[in-house]
Chains A and B, each alone.
Chain A
Amino acid sequence: MKKFILASALTSLCMSSATADIKVGILHSLSGTMAISETTLKDTMLMLIDQQNEKGGINGEKIVPVVVDPASNWPLFAEKARELLTVEKVDVIFGNWTSVSRKSVLPVIEELNGLLFYPVQYEGEESSKNVFYTGAAPNQQAIPATDYYLEELGVEKFALLGTDYVYPRTTNNILEQYLKDKGIDEEDIFVNYTPFGHSDWSKIVADVLALGADGKKVGVISTINGDANIGFYKELAAAGVSADDIPVIAFSVGEEELAGLDTTNLVGHLAAWNYFQSAEGSVNTNFIKTWKETMGEDRVTNDPMEAHYIGFNMWVNAVKDAGSTEVDAVRAQMYGQKFPNLTGGMAVMLPNHHLSKPVLIGEIQDDGQFDIISQTSEVDGDAWTDFLPSSAVLKSDWKDLGCGMYNLETKSCVQIKSNY
């Protein structure tokens, strides 16, 4: 039995690697805890590839998607990435959601000189030669959102609530330092971390309410992840917290997450992203239309989908420009690659492998959509934050310096490989 499986696995592998088309690996969890978010991205990629093939593929070659399921299991991400690169011999991988899965894949991608497009907002403090970060870096989401709090809403006291993992931890570290630089007292920053899927929010919400006792305007910055948001917002609504009194701005709550909630009591709370479905413009309208035609009328679009949309199209153009799918050639063509955002304006790929994108702030509406109330001009993504002293001296520039971790003080490259 075992041998039979091995043998058939081998033959199937050999068969698939025999074709000469351009292969795109899709490394998103289709089962397990992260499937809730990542399945959507897999479907997005398949849709984009279909569209490109209808247009005639790339340079006359068809694009073949190779879908694997790392099952929300982080070591499996590394295993599947290796399989995609060595057995399936894909030309590029689009995938990952969580930071830990990215850290798991990094050594493999760098060892085998692969190419990964990572579509989710993340904590920064990393730069890999082989990864293009199409999601937001902290300065493209967290910092503008905090500025909005400080300048527009006049928030003086901050509650930083997050799920206990690396993205909220690092983001909150950066924000704490940033707020202190802006003159907010350490005592006026309340930080709380909860486990994944946390559901018992009554005490934490009560703690946040109690923060108002010293007469300062309180605002919540939420990096709460996934399902836990549902319980949090339900408790918030039950406590009668109006967005006018204590606004909540979330970095991980998008259209998809709100689909599991009745939002009538949450109207006015905020989220910061680089994309909202409600953005006006014909490109976005078409994108939403195609998505709903493919997936069903009740499906929504969200920010990481736009990131894949931009990333994929940039890659296609870079391949066209390079005339091959060879990683180093494509990488060289990626720098300065331009493609229109779904929200209007142009996304540009920077030498630090991040995009320049506008930052949008939206208010939750009763239909589960966001009302865009603020939109900045394009902000350049920054791999190493300027607000932590140890990172402020670092710079990533793969185009001219050829280094992702260049120390501006000592004028030397700290390391070529990324830190994982």
Chain B
Amino acid sequence: MIPDHLFSPHFPFFPEQASTVAWQVDALYFFLVALTIFFTVLVSAMVIGFSIKYRKEKNPVATQIEGSVPLEIFWTVVPLGISLLIYVWAATLYFHMERPPKESMQIYVVGKQWMWKVQHPTGQREINQLHIPVGRNVRLTMISQDVLHSFSVPEFRVKHEVIPGRYTELWFQATKPGTYHLFCTQYCGTKHSGMIGEVIAMDPNAYEVWLSGGTEGGSLASTGEKLFTSLGCITCHSGESGARGPNLNGQFGHPQKLSDGTTVVMDENYIRESILTPQAKIVAGFGPIMPTFSGQVSEESLIALVAYVKGLQPAGSTAVPAAAPAKQGKTQ
């Protein structure tokens, strides 16, 4: 009945620390636990202590005390000061956790009722499993194809909502090889508690071996390239001068001037939006002629297209090999 887990060598009240941020989160947690114990004991000691010491039998007549301004100031300022300290500490940690480092390998995740679908840039696809190397920053670009989900790996102390309609991101760096829990933590219907899986952190060498395993359809970007041709994107987005659609080569991450005078940075969400609702943000100098692909392209195909468009090299540099973005994923 009592699981072995409770008697395993690591401390049983906390999940394993398997990412670079885990100990930082735990440090803040321990501090707050200590603070909670301190104040709970303090308040309980006052309440119970006074209530015993000044019980009616011992102290039949109460001393009427109106209050004390210095005390009020004291117990306003001290908790406020402690709060602000925690606030700054926690906010700094959050900024570190919420902003993926530039040097990250990118993996795409699609959530649906009730499974996780993972696409690696090299073309591997997984369901309810995510293989990653230890010691490298991993950035997950995630989207849901139906309701809200949330991607949670307690051993890494990371979690982020997976939202329909736009990409969200999460990053981590695993520190120990092992198999860790993957949970959906945002209630998503009947089999919410079955939307689980595992994150398998591997030694870099073992991971290379895993990566070299079979990928039937080639890299993610090469899948995207095929779609780019078969859906006809290439006819207008040919990259040639005078083309009917804007040149996409080398534009990723750069601001685009729009026809309404505003600018938008071309990121994953902008590419996706432009495929599904092309009229929303039209690049200056082009007409609203692109048809919508809403309902025709699955989230997985959208991801492949995004991966392909991201990897398009600036004009001038020769060829846009389909393998390049995948390699980029590895070397970055």
A binds B: no
A interface vs B, CB < 8 Å? none
